[in-house]
Structure 1
Amino acid sequence: MHATPSPARVAVVGGTGWIGRHLLAAFAARGHDVLALARNNAPHVPASAFRRLDLTSAGPARIAALLHRERVGVVVNATDGANANDGWDRTDEEMARTNVHAVEDLLAALARLPRPPRLIQLGSMHEYGPVPDGTLMDESLVPAPVNTYTRSRLAGTDRVLTAARSGTADALVLRLANVCGPHPSPAAFLGKLLQRLRTATEEGSPTVLTVARSARRDFVDVRDVSRAVVLAAASSVSGRVVNIGSGTATALPDLVGLLVSIAGPPAGLVAQRLAPVPGLGGDWMRVDNRLAADLLGWKPEIALRTSLEDMWRAR
């Protein structure tokens, strides 16, 4: 009789961030031993589950040594050049360092190992660039990013796909829609919005929220994202891109209005000002989830209202 293999040890690079914390919880709930790899630890990560690693400066040899020493079987790269610690206003060189060169070093590290871990790379739907309103965005779209951030994200995706298709990595890329849910990054749109609403309701201070008038975006709950990553890690699919989203395009004024209603400030305390607001891509995003269902058996389960309610209540 053959013994049932234990779940692989999972290392989440960027595990102290917003998505990272949910990834650690999702993998741990399924019996995996988990590690958060990041420059600095966070209060929600036990010291025993943290290993210090700066992916942008460690180099392939140190990365490989750490993964080998910790007997890691799956690596999830949840890093992003635009993040709460470093901010969103970054130079081309800074974006490339995290979103491209660090990915190259990670791939080189994996190639050094006798039994390379499986890699799940988290990308962004914004890599596709603007699309016409009404487009159901599937994986056949040709990416056409329009700014430094999205071009660097696409370059990182391309590095992973090239390695996987050449046989030097066992890797899959998940392109994520806009993420919502508990504990958003304070640098993200929803994190900033949440803080503005908390201040307004707790201090009774009036506030005006500037919201993109015409934008309709796909918002997917961070726990649904985490479940998709767990399924991707367990799958045998490699060298592919899979889009992950709710499948619904929500007008940003409606999203903000829903969160305001959940927060429940006194009448007249919070107002919206509709205006053109620059974004990472176009004004439209609606994800086609059919490939995720076919390849991973995944579909979104958490409704937007539930996601925003949980986000508001989480402390």
Structure 2
Amino acid sequence: MQNRSPAPPPDPDAPGVLVLGGSGCIGRHVCAAFARHGHRVTVVARTPAPHVAAHAFRSLDLLTAPADALSQLLTDTGAQVVVNATDMAGATDVTSAADGGEQRAAELLAANAGLARTLTQALQQCAKPPRLVHLGTIHEYGPGQRGVPLAEDLTPRPTNAYARAKLAGSQAVLAAANTGVVDAAVLRLVNTVGPYPTPASFPGKLLPRMRAAALAGEPLTVTVAAAMRDWVDVRDVAEAVVQAARRPLTKRVFNIGSGVAVPMRELVTHLLAAAGLPRTALDEDTGPVRSLGADWVQADIRRARTVLHWQPRIPLPQTCKDLWDAGRTSR
């Protein structure tokens, strides 16, 4: 894995950051990034997890917690930053969540928008409201035009329940920020990849199958969509969150991605190389693959470069190697 300096011991006088959903696949990297930058991190989730044991932990059901409870938590921890790294699709496959029927759509909408509204209410109750960094998704825009990067000034037109629910959460945050009642940034993330992926993601599903194929010395049959996707290392995402928490904000919405549309076949090739599997080990099936987005996704990340002074740094082959290497250790 890429060499990174260890996080310094928590300093009680260091700026505090509260990471909602900090034990999740993105949240754990966000916590690590803030710790490396000298912040005092508190993880908020229903249950603790071993991989974030180095940080303070507060148990809270974010689906049901009232604004008063969140406001008190912010005050008690002295947080100067709060990150909403939750993904209210839950542990299920988000591609299934996208078309799970009217009841599932209503649940997703209530969870994402509900938490966002509760959080903005909680911030308004604080004597010194911390900055909020809210994590959305590039799928909030809906399908774009092939060959044209998705920019922040596009009118969002999401096409599935998951993306509509995420957009509702982002809009609740932006409505509060645009009226000046909270200080907030919304980061719209492309597909993330890197160490410890969610099992519901394409890399997360592929990883155990690759490991089994490598052990058995047998070919691996993978359905590879004829699609182009923007992939960004989850650790680069975490650095973007830190910069969004620290920089002056002249804008409120930022796309976070690599800025490059990559063929799905290229991603699979990098994963095979990381696993030490030859390209001939892949039996490719070019059938359809369910997805949350269009067949072509590329983020315009110029605003993040200009305002946040952020840019992706970890190349995709290194990301895939680190993902494979991390899979050999406990989560």
- Give the TM-score of the pair, scaled to structure 2: 0.89
State the alpha-carbon separation in 1 of the partners of residues 54 and 72 from structure 2: 20
CA contact (8 A) 1:170 1:238 kept: no
Contact residue 30 and residue 238 of structure 2 kept, 8 A: yes
Matches within 5 A, 1:272-283: 272-283=284-295
Q: Do structure 1's residue 115 and structure 2's residue 110 form an aligned pair?
A: no
CA contact (8 A) 1:36 1:50 kept: yes
Measure how far apart 1:142 and its partner are.
1.3
Alpha-carbon distance in 2 for matches of 1:48, 1:258: 33
How far off is 1:160 after superposition?
0.5
Q: 1:176 to 1:217 in 2, by over 3 A?
A: same
- Residue of structure 1 in register with 2:8 after alignment: none
1:37 aligns with 2:44: yes
> Would you say 1:296 and 2:303 are equivalent positions?
no
2:160 matched to which residue of 1?
147
Once the two structures are TM-superposed, the CA of residue 221 in structure 1 deviates from its matched residue by: 0.6
Give 1:207 deviation, angstroms. 3.1
**Aligned residue for 2:234?**
222
User: Alpha-carbon deviation of 1:6?
Assistant: 5.2
Query: 1:38, 1:51 within 8 Å by CA — same for their partners in 2?
Result: yes
Match of 2:101 in 1: none
Alpha-carbon distance in 1 for matches of 2:54, 2:243? 27
| Structure 1 residue aligned with 2:57 | 50
Q: Which residue of 2 aligns with 1:161?
A: 174
> What amino acid does structure 2 have at the position aligned with 1:82?
A
Q: Give the letter aligned to residue 198 of structure 1.
A: R
Cα distance, 1:236 vs. partner?
2.3
Q: Deviations over 1:196-250 (max 9, x none)?
A: 111221244543111212x101001111111111011001216610111101100
Measure how far apart 1:66 and its partner are.
1.3
State the identity as a percent: 46
1:242 aligns with 2:249: no
Instruction: Name which of 299, 302, 314 aligns with 1:287.
Output: 299
Q: Name the counterpart of 1:98.
A: 111
1:176 aligns with: 189
CA distance in 2, matches of 1:128, 1:11: 28
Which consecutive unaligned segments of at least 5 residues does structure 1 have? none
Q: Which residue of 1 aligns with 2:141?
A: 128
How has the CA–CA distance of structure 1 residues 291 and 166 changed in structure 2, closer, same or farther, with 3 Å as cutoff? same
Equivalent residues, number: 309
Query: What is the SS of the residue equivalent to 1:275?
Result: coil
Instruction: Give the gaps of 5 or more residues in structure 2.
Output: 1-11, 98-103
What SS does structure 1 have at the residue aligned with 2:82?
strand
Letter of the aligned partner of 1:66 in structure 2? Answer: L
Given the superposition, is the C-alpha separation of residues 246 and 266 from structure 1 closer, same or farther in structure 2, using an over 3 Å criterion?
A: closer
